[in-house]
């Protein structure tokens, strides 16, 4: 496909986000068809220079008419977007920015509270020129407009966000992926679409934000409810549903979830341990939870004698089970092929083709696959300005 076809193809978003959290959210919206204009400073989104790089990589601030000027992490969250270079400290470029916002449904950013305000580009200034616009922000600790935080001015990155919101102590460690970026970005996308829906109905937009701290706390809703009653901190690794964990195999690990009694019965038969059905330590989920270490030890003694695939062959389709796949195994899985979850993507210049994770929201009649590769820095300057009918004298960045 060469143009967006998703259900949001009538929405225009001015995307001032950088790094990971904001771009992840706007990539979801772009996959769904939104027209996303990625506004970057003259030296580009710093995430462009994060490795690994394609063979013919050019530093973002250098002219890269032929090669790619981004690493693969940037490519993963900036598909289906166009890049426009603007220096938002410059009065002329600020006016271009305002003219873009006048024709847009939304503007989003993930800077610290007050940064855009200090440049004269606040929500209030933008909405004065376009009352229908929605302004979405991702902050570490929120924006004073929606609730003052004592940490509002603090910078925040993923590891801090995971920690302050209670997630690290609930799980026992940091997530290996940037969940404190990914989840706020996802919530921002949901909030943006919801606010645009209201703006189109009422004729008035509004400001909203997603705090990384708040998003992590939201992930712990069940824990919060339990703690509010018991005032007891749940211990990492202790479960109210058993079995519901990873177990070692001869070639890796496999997840098995059988707290439901029907599944537990099947698991006992597969393990050739019918005695566990009636054992007072394992006969019900409540008893298995009280005797978690014993229960998991019985299962592990069985799984360690088999491969991941052997466990899946015995339990698949009957008990919730999943091998802990490596990405090599994910790429080879027939599910991934059947669901078209890897989008082939051509890189600019003499570079090998790559694959990008596809949009997981699948519509029966509306395709939402990749239609435009990640952009070079400022690649669409002239195209976007012409499309918006903006005349700009001089040119900062690359056209």
| φ, ψ of residue 223 in degrees (nearest 5) | -65, -40
Instruction: Tell whether the torsion through CA atoms of 172, 175, 176 and 180 is positive or negative.
Output: negative
Helix (H, G, I), strand (E, B) or coil at 290: helix
3-class DSSP assignment, residue 246: strand
Does 158 qualify as catalytic in the annotation? no
CB atoms within 10 A of CB 62: 10
Pairing relationship of beta strands 244-249 and 207-211 according to DSSP bridges: unpaired
Q: In what order do the strands lie in the sheet with 35-40?
A: 81-85, 35-40, 12-15, 106-109, 134-139, 207-211
Report which secondary-structure segment, H or E, holds 256: strand 252-257
Q: Omega before 243 cis (within 30°)?
A: yes
Q: What is the dihedral of CA 26, 373, 73, 253, to 10 degrees?
A: 90
Catalytic-labelled residue, pool 143, 181, 209, 343? 181
231 sits in the region (left: phi over 0; alpha: psi -120 to 50; else beta) called left
Are the C-beta atoms of 330 and 336 separated by less than 8 Å? yes
CA distances from 276 to 240, 248, 385 (A): 18, 20, 70
> Taking Cα atoms as reference points, which of 349, 341, 340, 357 lies closest to residue 379?
349
**How many C-beta atoms surround the C-beta of residue 50 within 10 A?**
15
Which residues lie below 8 Å from residue 45, measured CB to CB, with a gap of 6+?
18, 19, 23, 38, 60, 74, 78
CA angle 105, 191, 44 (to 5 degrees): 65
CA separation (Å) from 264 to 59, 303, 323, 332, 356? 55, 15, 18, 30, 38
Catalytic residue positions, numbered? 181
């Amino acid at each position: 496909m060469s143009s967006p076809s998703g259900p949001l193809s009538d929405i225009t978003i001015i995307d001032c986000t950088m790094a990971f959290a904001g771009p992840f959210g706007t990539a979801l919206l772009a996959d769904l068809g939104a027209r996303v204009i990625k506004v970057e400073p003259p030296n580009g989104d710093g995430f462009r220079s994060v490795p690994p790089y394609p063979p013919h990589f050019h530093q973002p601030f250098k002219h890269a008419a032929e090669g790619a000027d981004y690493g693969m992490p940037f490519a993963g969250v900036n598909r289906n977007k166009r890049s426009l270079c603007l220096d938002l400290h410059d009065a002329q470029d600020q006016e271009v920015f305002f003219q873009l916002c006048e024709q847009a449904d939304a503007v989003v950013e993930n800077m610290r509270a007050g940064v855009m305000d200090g440049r004269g580009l606040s929500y209030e200034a933008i909405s004065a020129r376009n009352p229908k616009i929605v302004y979405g922000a991702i902050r570490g600790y929120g924006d004073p407009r929606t609730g003052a935080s004592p940490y509002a001015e603090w910078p925040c990155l993923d590891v801090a966000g995971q920690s302050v919101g209670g997630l690290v102590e609930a799980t026992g460690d940091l997530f290996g992926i940037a969940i404190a970026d990914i989840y706020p970005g996802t919530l921002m996308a949901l909030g943006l679409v919801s606010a645009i829906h209201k703006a189109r109905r009422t004729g008035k937009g509004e400001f909203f934000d997603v705090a990384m701290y708040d998003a992590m706390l939201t992930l712990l809703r069940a824990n919060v409810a339990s703690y509010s009653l018991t005032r007891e901190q749940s211990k990492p690794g202790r479960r109210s549903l058993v079995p519901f964990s990873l177990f070692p195999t001869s070639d890796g690990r496999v997840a098995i979830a059988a707290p439901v009694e029907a599944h537990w019965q099947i698991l006992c038969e597969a393990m050739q341990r019918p005695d566990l059905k009636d054992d007072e330590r394992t006969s019900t989920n409540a008893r298995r939870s009280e005797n978690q270490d014993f229960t998991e030890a019985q299962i592990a003694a069985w799984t360690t004698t088999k491969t991941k695939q052997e466990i899946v062959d015995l339990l698949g389709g009957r008990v919730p089970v999943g091998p802990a796949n490596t990405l090599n195994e994910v790429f080879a899985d027939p599910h991934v092929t059947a669901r078209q979850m890897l989008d082939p993507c051509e890189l600019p210049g003499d570079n090998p083709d790559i694959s990008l994770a596809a949009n997981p929201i699948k519509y029966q009649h509306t395709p939402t696959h990749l239609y435009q590769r990640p952009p070079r820095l400022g690649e669409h300057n002239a195209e976007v300005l012409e499309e918006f009918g903006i005349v700009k004298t001089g040119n900062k960045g690359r056209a």
